[in-house]
Structure 1
């Protein structure tokens, strides 16, 4: 396998600039994001000791550290944004075959916009994503450490623990295709899917989150029209059908490939459901590594690889523009904390 460092164009990765830019925009925002005021109220309850919220230890620690330093809530947002994007971008820098393409995909998946509203879970996702390198190196102790660190910010990080084994299985193509097909059928049959998901949640939801079950079925999830989900589900089906086995014979390719398939299956199964749809981000973020890996390693000439990379950039850039234009998660009008 060719070494990426032989290609200076693909190896260019403005890590520090990207980290600073994203952390500044997300960390110094004011009244931006659907849940902005909820996090302000969390901070104020910690600060004044009035019915302090019972949140995970890690997020409580950030708030209490901010109060101890005599700083305001903006510091909570900045530290959270910096921590999330350091872990995410560091993982991309160390593992992606094309840093810039990965960052464009990161925006196109919606993760950048989502993290202004689901701060705690975004930190959890960042820790498990960073820890995935230990799935590749087969170091369970270090992997479980990062899952536990994720759980200190959002308990849902526990779902990633079994993927130390699941993601390392060389799944038969037929099984993956069948899984995608059944997921698409269930997505198109919401009444049946509602019953299945409700039973699943009742079995595995811990007592602290049981009140969410009713809310989940009263509100819509992360899917609006469903056209993108259907298109990407069909794309994944064709993609897996045509992908040569050589693409995932190495452990890294196998793991990225499995998370790629899981991301589209989970989006079809859970995308309709409020809150639950966010769990799919634990898988979909691996698209930032999978597509550059695939393009770099596919047996094709440089011209065709460049074409595939360009088409991928255009596709995910389209969804980034779509999200901004549609004021996804109330990101507009944007205001800095300095000029509130």
Structure 2
């Protein structure tokens, strides 16, 4: 495909998928049959097909292909013990080998799992958020990224399933889901303290915990290089990261400026979210943790990706803010602002700068 055709394809995916979800939501409000579910889940098809049937796009595409052949030279146990890859990813590679014996299906299955988990997480909270806006934000921020860094978006999608048990205070279920996500990307383990951070019975304790988290996060950023040196030199699962060069480039405010519209919307609605009894307000702090961890990107771009686990909560927070607006015009205004912002961000990041190198799009099956 040409650059123009590829750009139009990605816009079409966003618009078509979001429109299907919008239709599903309209039907859900007016009837009791299961037609809305059918339409909602059918919206999953196009993003999965385009993602799964790609070839050679995304900076890590060929790396994952080579890893597939390498991992299948081991049995599962040896792969876990003797390679740097996570158990879940090793098992998935072996399953694809056993059933299909074709590396192309690794990308199809991983895309299917990633977007199924994301859609499932959003659908679970359909009564607390504007589902259509959630899907729009999801596609604008994480769709093209998933072409590149396959394992981490899969881990993020699984972690988004943990938001419900986190809010419902079901600790065991939260832990199991988080551990499952870690089986696809070890860095997902950083999300584990979220349960402790979010759940407090007393305001005073909640304030103390969040203060501790902020201070600890800042110390973690400052001491990140010696911390990583310790991990890579002493823990085998992190040893492969020793090849990455960490070079702190100084503090900047570019990311905060870019994300300032979202920050302002959240700050303007914190009190309203609390008084409206929409429990999504409890994950606000996780988003702001993501902003803090974003500064790890000043060491190296790959390190800054840790923030994605927390910033992904915006797919719940902003749609929840829209959901609680009682005034129709205020609700429409927020929808317009959020949609314009994320489509603009997508245009700049993916279409113009071609981050993740997903343009031009290339089909895998000719």
Structure 2 length-normalised TM: 0.75
SS of equivalent residue, structure 2 residue 301: coil
How many Å separate the matches in 1 of 2:103 and 2:301? 27
Corresponding residue for 1:189? Answer: none
The CA deviation string for residues 154-194 of structure 1, in whole angstroms up to 9 with x for no partner, is 11121111111102346559x78x959x99xx8xxxxx997
Change (3 A) 1:164 1:304: same
Unaligned runs of 5+ in 1: 1-6, 187-191
In structure 2, the partner of 1:336 is 363
With normalisation by structure 1, the TM-score equals 0.81
Measured against aligned partners, the alpha-carbon deviations of 1:223-253 in whole angstroms (never above 9, x if no partner) come to 9x963433425862x4555435241354722
Say whether 1:105 aligns with 2:131. no
Task: Measure, in 2, the Cα distance between the counterparts of 1:162 and 1:147.
Answer: 10
Tell me the distance in 2 between the aligned counterparts of 1:25 and 1:330. 15
Q: 5+ unaligned residues in a row in structure 2: which ranges?
A: 1-24, 30-35
1:219–1:274 Cα contact (<8 Å) kept? no
- In structure 2, the partner of 1:308 is 334
The answer to whether the 8 A contact 1:257-1:290 is kept is yes
Q: How does 1:106-255 map to 2 (within 5 A)?
A: 106-109=138-141, 111-169=142-200, 172=207, 195-202=222-229, 206-212=235-241, 215-218=244-247, 227-233=254-260, 236=263, 238-239=264-265, 241-248=267-274, 250=277, 252-255=279-282
Report the equivalent of 1:65.
95
**SS of corresponding position for 2:123:** helix
Per-residue CA deviation, residues 91-131 of structure 1 (Å, 9 max, x unaligned), is: 1122142222112211333x112212221222221111112
1:200 deviates by 4.1
Q: Tell me how far 1:302 sits from its aligned partner.
A: 0.5
SS at match of 1:338: coil
- Paired residue for 1:92? 122
Q: Calculate the aligned-residue CA RMSD, in Å.
A: 3.4
Instruction: Tell me, in whole angstroms, the C-alpha distance in 2 between the residues paired with 1:265 and 1:194.
Output: 8
Counterpart-to-counterpart distance in 1, 2:179 and 2:220: 31
Determine if contact 2:130/2:322 at 8 Å carries over to the other structure: no
Q: Give the SS at the match of 1:66.
A: helix
Q: How many residues align?
A: 316
